[in-house]
Every structure is written in C-alpha cells, then in structure tokens.
Amino acid sequence: MPSQPHRLPPFAALVAFDAVLRHGSMTLAAAELGLTQSAISHRLRDLERYFGLTLFERLNPGLRVTDAGHRLSHELTPLLGTLSGLRRHVRGRPQVRPFRIGTGSALLNWWLSPRLPALAAAFPDLAIEVMTWDPAAPRGDVDLGLVWIPREASTEGPCEVRFPDEFVFPIVSPKLLKCHGPHDEWSALPLLAKGHRGEDMGPEWSWTTWLGPNSTRPEAMRFRDISGTLQAAVDGNGVALGRSLLVADALRRRRLKRLGRRSEARLCSKVQIARWRDPTDHDAARMAAWLVANAAS
C-alpha cells in the first residue's frame, strides 16, 4: 500500500506567524513582509485552521500569544534559522546590497538609532549605511531619504510615503519639576527654544502661541536645532517644545515629562517623509513601509 503524502503546514503562514511573534504587531509584520495587515491576519487564521488551535488571542488593541503559540514558536524559530542559513551554504559567501539611508541628525539620534538593530534584522540582504545631512539641503546620493518638509510639499507619489502626523507640546525633565516643587508647572521654569531668533518655523514652535501674546517671559536659552534643545531639556535646563515622534522614547523612559493637557498639542506644520528615487526599488519601498509602520506603533 503506497504511503500517504505528508500534509505540510502552509509555509507562508509560518513566516507570517514568526514575523508577528518577533514584532508583537501585525502592522510591523506586514511592513517587514511587504503585505497588508489583512493578508497577515488571513495567513494566521490559515495556520490556526491547520493546527486546529488558537495561536493568538486578539485583544483591543494588540495580540497575546497563547500556550499553543509559544509551543509552535519553540519548534519554529530554530527551523527558520536553519532554512535562512541554506542560502549562505549554497551561495558560499553571502551577497548583500549596499543601501544608504539619508536622515537629519535629530531623527537619527532621537528615534532611528535605537531601531537600527531591528531594521538590520528585518533586511539581512542589505548592508545599511546611515548618512546624516542638513535638513535644509538633503543629499541625492542615497537610496532612501528621510526628509522633514512643509506639509503642502508632500506629494504621496509612488516613491514617497508619509509618516503619521506629528504634534508639538511642551516637555521637561521630571527632575527639574521635582526641584521646583508642586507649584504651577509653568510658573518659574526657564524656556528653551530652537532656531534663530525671528525665524518662522510655524506657530507651533513659538512660545507666544503657548503663553499668549501678552507674555513677557524671556527665553532662557536658544539652540540651533531641536536635537540640542531636547538634550538641554533632558539635562534639566528648562522647558522645551518637542515633536511627538522624537520625544516618544524619552517620555516612555521617563527622561522627559509632557506638560499641559493633551488637547493643547498643536499639529506640526511639517511632516516626516520617506522618499526614494527609483519606483522599481522594492527594497526602498519595503524599508519605507517598515519605518512608517514602526513610527505608527
């Protein structure tokens, strides 16, 4: 009697499961694999039907791995590691593509840098090089540029993806608040500002917008760029105005504290854009999607 063929699990669904498990997010998994979130969800359900078990509990928001999901992960992770190594053994020396990312130093220092290990792991076939530039004069010799531009200059074309909208709000070091006691957060703290005096960066960056046109409080210090302003705030030099993406990690780690009510945040007049030159450059498109999904999460 002939033997029955093995019924193998759907491989694409296993890959989707591994990506969701590593990122803890369908959105980030979809960005890594170049799929929609709906496609990731369908693949997970295919895998659950194959095993007849629930692998993730769908929460609102987020996911929780079940015991069955943990058992599958324990078996799957070394297997995928072995499969990923097959190309190295067959090809001999690994072939990687040099890939240059251009960005301003503030975005690199305050948001991108902590995410570079995960980015490199998500794109193992790319030898990533990060190049910093003056935001006013971005370079053209990069594969993917992260640019900070006026909202009306964004085109959302085939070679451009916009990051989520950002908001501006006051931030301060918790230790500075502690030193000043429990009185009004705004009453006596020094004010920090970015840019040249008189430079129009949008009303959201003017202390007059926040304190009112009749305020007579002088700025204690002014910095050329937002990176220096935020570092001065972390060091306890005063209150600064921060971009939501740039200060997200510092807020989560309690290096900074948000002041005022959330309803007082003001929409940025600029947007962060991921832009590339070649519409056939799928690596650039996938990396842009990964970065935008990570910012959204």
pLDDT of residue 131: 92
273: burial class by Cβ within 10 Å (0-12, 13-18, 19+)?
buried
Give the span between the Cα atoms of 65 and 47, in whole angstroms.
Answer: 14
SS3 state at 222: strand
Backbone angles phi, psi at 194, to 5 degrees: -115, 155
Per-residue model confidence as pLDDT tens digits over 204-217: 998 888 888 777 67
Looking at every residue in the chain, the average pLDDT score rounds to: 85
pLDDT of residue 86: 65
Residue for token pair 């009112």: 212
Per-residue model confidence as pLDDT tens digits over 75-104: 887 777 677 666 656 665 556 889 999 999
Residue 1 one-letter amino acid: M
Calculate what percentage of the chain has a pLDDT beyond 70: 87
pLDDT of residue 137: 61
Residue 95 one-letter amino acid: Q
- Give me the CATH topology for the region 97-165+270-296: D-Maltodextrin-Binding Protein; domain 2 (3.40.190)
- pTM score, whole prediction: 0.69
Per-residue model confidence as pLDDT tens digits over 214-231: 776 777 788 988 999 999
Residue 283 one-letter amino acid: D
Calculate what percentage of the chain has a pLDDT beyond 90: 41
Q: Which is more confidently placed, 36 or 81?
A: 36
Residue 34 one-letter amino acid: G
CA dihedral 194, 115, 29, 283 (to 10 degrees): 90
pLDDT of residue 91: 60
Q: Which is more confidently placed, 18 or 170?
A: 170
Give the span between the Cα atoms of 263 and 276, in whole angstroms.
Answer: 35
pLDDT of residue 80: 74
Give the span between the Cα atoms of 19 and 25, in whole angstroms.
Answer: 8
Give the confidence band of 176 by pLDDT, cuts at 50, 70, 90: confident
CA–CA distances in Å: residue 191 to residues 181, 239, 268:
17, 5, 20
Q: How many CB atoms lie within 10 A of CB 211?
A: 14
Residues β-bridged to residue 162? 273
Q: Which is more confidently placed, 139 or 99?
A: 99
Q: Where are the domains of the chain?
A: 11-91, 97-165+270-296, 167-267
- Mean pLDDT value of segment 146-162: 86
> What CATH class is the domain 11-91?
mainly alpha
User: Above 70 in pLDDT, residue 278?
Assistant: yes
Q: What is the CATH number of domain 167-267?
A: 3.40.190.290
**The two domains 11-91 and 97-165+270-296 share their CATH topology (first three levels equal):** no
Question: At CA 242, angle to CA 246 and CA 254, rounded to 5?
Answer: 70
